[in-house]
């Protein structure tokens, strides 16, 4: 499993894929946080916080993570190397987790440089340190868990097709619906007493809850359950070749 994980990471960083993913994430967020004169701009807002990063981050991940994960299994299917991979002394779960953790590590590498934003705001706030540290770290944890969910969805989407573009579109649609779809349904107020239940099915409400700086076990369990669910779907998809 470690060897396959290392192979996946090497495929990212021995080509431009990994570097492009990290640079795109940082450039987009940097432009909106520091350059463009909009509400998300830290200088324009006048507040010592990183709310803009945690509002924009999920939408950047929404496109970036499907682009990263679309090749995981789809490319293996297209080239026929999936059969060779499945004959190796690895279980389906080990293969899936190797690819999943490779994507997750890339997400972590994308987030780590943004700590510079935090320390910059921390040092140059008036007075220095005038930033809600608990909420900021809670938001980082929430953004990491959200990225972890998107990676699991991307891995699943890649496992059900041999076309990378189809994988990207399917992953983008599922991620978008999981993040804001249930929130939109909730806003319609069609289901009466079930509206809150429907809202809690979506990622947004749990991400927003963690971003307040309070790590509720219910939110963590939700994220872990969603990740497990899509990894299970991926395993079923791979196992279906034997049916």
Q: How far is CA 229 from CA 72, 84, 189, 221, in A?
A: 18, 26, 28, 12
- Whether the CA torsion 92, 98, 103, 104 is positive or negative: it is positive
Give pLDDT, residue 195. 76
Segment 61-88 shows an average pLDDT of 78
Give pLDDT, residue 225. 95
**pLDDT range class, residue 30, cuts 50, 70, 90:** confident
Length of the chain equals 243
Give the residue from 49, 3, 57 showing the smallest Cα distance to 207. Answer: 57
Give pLDDT, residue 44. 67
Q: Where are the domains of the chain?
A: 2-242
Q: Which of 86-90, 162-166, 180-184, 220-224 has the lowest mean pLDDT?
A: 86-90
The predicted model scores a pTM of 0.90
Neighbours of 147 (CB within 10 A): 23
Residue 97 has pLDDT above 60, yes or no: yes
Give pLDDT, residue 220. 92
Q: pLDDT tens digit string along 127-158? A: 766 677 778 888 899 999 999 999 999 999 99
Which residues, 6+ apart, have CB-to-CB distance to 118 below 8 Å? 50, 131, 136
Of the ranges 4-18, 30-44, 160-174, the best mean pLDDT one: 160-174
**pLDDT range class, residue 94, cuts 50, 70, 90:** confident
Q: pLDDT tens digit string along 216-234? A: 888 899 999 999 999 999 9
Percent of the chain with pLDDT over 70: 87
**pLDDT range class, residue 125, cuts 50, 70, 90:** low
**pLDDT range class, residue 91, cuts 50, 70, 90:** confident
Cα separation, 159 vs 224, whole angstroms: 20
Segment 173-178 shows an average pLDDT of 94
Instruction: Calculate the average pLDDT of the chain.
Output: 83
Give pLDDT, residue 47. 66
How big is the CA angle at 107 (ends 181 and 1), to the nearest 5 degrees? 110
Give pLDDT, residue 108. 92
Residue 243 has pLDDT above 60, yes or no: no
Give pLDDT, residue 241. 65
Percent of the chain with pLDDT over 90: 26
């Amino acid at each position: 499993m470690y060897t396959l994980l290392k192979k996946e990471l090497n495929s990212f960083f021995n080509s431009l894929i990994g570097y492009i993913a990290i640079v795109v994430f940082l450039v987009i967020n940097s432009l909106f946080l520091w350059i463009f004169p909009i509400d998300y701009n830290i200088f324009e807002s006048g507040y010592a916080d990183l709310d803009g990063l945690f509002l924009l981050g999920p939408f950047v991940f929404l496109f970036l993570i499907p682009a990263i994960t679309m090749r995981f299994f789809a490319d293996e299917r297209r080239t026929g190397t999936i059969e060779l991979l499945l004959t190796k002394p690895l279980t389906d779960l080990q293969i899936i987790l190797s690819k999943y953790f490779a994507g997750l590590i890339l997400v972590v590498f994308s987030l780590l440089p943004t700590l510079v934003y935090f320390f910059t705001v921390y040092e140059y706030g008036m007075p220095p340190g005038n930033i809600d540290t608990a909420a900021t770290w809670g938001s980082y944890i929430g953004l990491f868990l959200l990225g972890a969910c998107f990676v699991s969805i991307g891995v699943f989407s890649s496992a059900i097709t041999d076309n990378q573009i189809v994988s990207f579109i399917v992953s983008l649609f599922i991620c978008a619906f999981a993040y804001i779809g249930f929130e939109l349904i909730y806003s319609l107020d069609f289901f009466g007493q079930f509206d809150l239940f429907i809202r809690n099915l979506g990622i947004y409400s749990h991400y927003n809850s963690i971003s307040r700086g309070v790590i509720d076990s219910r939110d963590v369990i939700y994220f872990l359950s969603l990740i497990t669910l899509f990894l299970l779907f991926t395993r079923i998809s791979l196992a279906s070749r034997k049916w």
